[in-house]
Amino acid sequence: MTQRNIFVVGLNEFNRQRLQQLRGASEYRFHGVIDPAEVYDTEVFPIEDMVRRADDTLKAFGEPIDAIIGYMDFPVSTMLPILCNRFGTRTTSLESLLRCEHKYWSRLTQREVIGNYIPRFTAFDPFDEQALSKIGEAGLYFPFFVKPIKSSGSRLGFRIDSPEDFQLATTRLREDIGLISEPFNYVLEQASLPEEVRAVDGGYCMAEEIIGGWQCTVEGYVFEGEVVSYGIVDSIRYPQVLSFFYYRYPSLLPEAIQARMLDLTQTVMAHIGYDNAAFNIEFFWDEVQNRVWLLEINTRISQSHCDLFAKVDGVSHQQVTVDLALGQRPDMPHREGDFAVAAKFFYRVFFVDATVTRVPSEREIETLQQDFPGTYIALQVEAGQRLSALPEQDSYSFALAYVWMGADTAEALENNYAQLAERLTFEFTDIIG
């Protein structure tokens, strides 16, 4: 049987190994397009040049191209519809993707069908000296949250409690927003946009009413118009801060709340017209008011959740991405993994800045992984590195390591991580607290 050729934007060796464990993988050949260093651990996205070079690579391939996939946020997610359209492979349209990824357009679209489940919002220009007063005129008052129209991870997101907070946030936004706004505007130029959306380009930001509660992510896909959700992952934050502590699968939310989130997912994704691609939607459940909020829609699987699905269900949910790109209904197993519950933990420090002088050795990492079966530890820093130089960090902390673990119960999972974390030894100098 002839193997099918699947091109992966930003394919690295770690994910090649994951992909080769998928169902049907013996029938596929995975090829990288665009060096992974250009899409991992970087804040510079020359997307026009990346699309051109990817186009050249694909045109030079002498065999059929059966699928072009990715499983990362910007710029990979927005490159896929452009490349797939050029080479006749399957994914959702660029416009339907942008109705999810352009945060203002997404909120306008959500408001049309699930207006009671989204916060009040308005767009603003961070370079406008009157921006704060215009936000007030739109009915938003302290506290509120600001973030770019398009961002990557949790970068440049700020809680605003005072005019001083807003001044500090807009200073940062003015300095750094161009890193994503310029390449995102290139993507917007490729799409057919309503005038009210085209006027709010990548240089704009969103101000939104503060929402919160128990946070989770619905992972799903649309196959030939059918919206399917296959798992809910809890997102647990460190106490009193916005930084994530760990992601846990499966969710421990009440069944009725999970059902409500699945209904909202069905409604909004069908309305958007998203099709033949994976997505995930982040929600909050406000336990006090028993109210569900939709936070945002992402046009991809969450790469952070790959190992969680493999541990609990038996295969990474990259299975969904590959199957959809090949035009087949995803062959995703359920509860066939080695563990009842799994998590990705973020080992963090809450410094303003510091220089790393010591990280755990390879032998220390191997010992910990052996002592806690099923565990994988990925260091994110090196000795000599300045924390402020790390890409893709939130505004309040630095992630030094990612730790994936599985267990029989949620309680055992937390206990195991606590024991492991005590043995992860990092050292620093020049600490700014």
What value does the mean pLDDT take over residues 195-223? 96
Torsion of CA 34, 37, 38, 41, to 10 degrees: 140
> Could you tell me the pTM of the whole model?
0.93
Shared-domain flag, residues 308 and 183: no
- Given 148, 174, 209, the domain boundary residue is 209
Shared-domain flag, residues 222 and 203: no
Q: How many domains does the chain have?
A: 3
Q: Is residue 110 part of a domain?
A: no
Strand order, beta sheet including 226-237: 291-298, 277-286, 214-223, 226-237, 244-249, 341-349, 398-407, 376-379
Q: Which residue, among 226, 235, 225, 243, has the nearest Cα to 348 in the 3D structure?
A: 243
At 285, which CATH number? 3.30.470.20
What pLDDT sits at residue 181? 93
Shared-domain flag, residues 226 and 269: yes
Q: Is residue 63 part of a domain?
A: yes
Shared-domain flag, residues 133 and 170: yes
Shared-domain flag, residues 150 and 78: no
Whether residue 49 is predicted with pLDDT greater than 70 in this model: the reply is: yes
Q: Is residue 97 part of a domain?
A: no
Shared-domain flag, residues 194 and 243: no
Shared-domain flag, residues 236 and 381: yes
- Given 180, 209, 238, the domain boundary residue is 209
Whether residue 153 is predicted with pLDDT greater than 70 in this model: the reply is: no
Q: Is residue 98 part of a domain?
A: no
pLDDT mean across residues, the chain: 95
Whether residue 396 is predicted with pLDDT greater than 70 in this model: the reply is: yes
Shared-domain flag, residues 71 and 184: no
Q: Is residue 311 part of a domain?
A: yes
Give the pLDDT confidence of 320-357 residue by residue, as tens digits.
Answer: 999 999 999 999 999 999 999 999 999 999 988 999 99
Shared-domain flag, residues 183 and 322: no
Shared-domain flag, residues 83 and 148: no
Shared-domain flag, residues 280 and 386: yes
What pLDDT sits at residue 309? 98
Q: Is residue 111 part of a domain?
A: no
Provide the domain limits for residue 363: 214-432
User: How large a percentage of the chain has pLDDT more than 90?
Assistant: 89
Give the pLDDT confidence of 216-240 residue by residue, as tens digits.
Answer: 999 999 999 999 999 999 999 998 7
**Residues near 154 by beta carbon (within 8 Å), at least 6 away in sequence:** 242, 393, 394, 395
DSSP 8-class letter at 140? -
Shared-domain flag, residues 76 and 139: no
Q: Is residue 149 part of a domain?
A: yes
Helix (H/G/I), strand (E/B), else coil: 63: coil
What pLDDT sits at residue 352? 87
Q: Is residue 377 part of a domain?
A: yes
- Given 92, 111, 138, the domain boundary residue is 92
What value does the mean pLDDT take over residues 387-392? 83
Pull the structure tokens for residue 73. Answer: 């946020």
Give the pLDDT confidence of 172-194 residue by residue, as tens digits.
Answer: 999 999 988 999 999 999 999 99
Q: Which residue, among 76, 80, 105, has the nearest Cα to 90 in the 3D structure?
A: 80
Give the pLDDT confidence of 266-308 residue by residue, as tens digits.
Answer: 999 999 999 999 999 999 999 999 999 999 999 999 999 999 9
Are the beta carbons of 278 and 220 closer than 8 angstroms?
yes
**What confidence tier does 242 reach under pLDDT thresholds 50, 70, 90?**
confident
Whether cis (ω within 30° of 0) applies to the bond prior to 75 is: yes
**Residues near 298 by beta carbon (within 8 Å), at least 6 away in sequence:** 73, 77, 100, 101, 279, 280, 281, 282
